[in-house]
Structure 1
Amino acid sequence: MNNHRQQKHAKLPPLESEEVSSTRWQFITMTAQEEDLIHRMHKLIGDRWDLIAGRIPGRKPEEIERYWIMTHLEGFGKRRRG
């Protein structure tokens, strides 16, 4: 059981080697409720995408992070509703 617990909590290596050009990313659409939750959670806990994704059924941490990058970094264009 101890071995299983260690495997479950093993950290994954950084995704730096899998970095792709932002022009190849397809924009991820979120519902208004998902956007609101992401913004509120990010304000509380920062960029802990795994915790945020755990609150949104069917979403992966990578999707949440990509959504955040595409909506908050220059060059991707602002899509947020004021």
Structure 2
Amino acid sequence: MADMDRSSDDISVDSTASKVEFSEDEETLITRMYNLVGERWSLIAGRIPGRTAEEIEKYWNSRYSTSE
């Protein structure tokens, strides 16, 4: 039973820790690159050291996606 409790705690920790912060320069670069190449996240990530395509896509979708 302790394992089940631990799993649920890990899930809640992961969901709060998954928010990634970007610097103003990174945000500007992401926006500029998106305008040039569109949703080619791996290409954009290649221009920002230490960032993955998944992080950038998640950032973009959380910041700029339209929820209709």
TM over 0.5: yes
Match of 1:63 among 34, 43, 55: 55
Deviations 1:39-67 (A, max 9, x none): 00000000000000000000000000000
Q: Normalized per residue, which structure has more helix?
A: 2
The alignment's TM-score, normalised by the length of structure 1, stands at 0.58
Counterpart of 1:27 (choices 19, 30, 51) is 19
CA distance in 1, matches of 2:29, 2:22: 10
Find runs of 4+ consecutive structure 1 residues off by over 3 angstroms.
Answer: none
Return 5+ residue gaps in structure 2 as ranges.
Answer: 1-14
> CA separation in 1, counterparts of 2:36 and 2:66?
23
Q: Which has the larger radius of gyration?
A: 2
What runs of 5+ residues in structure 1 fail to find an aligned partner?
1-23, 76-82
Indicate the SS of the match to 1:47.
coil
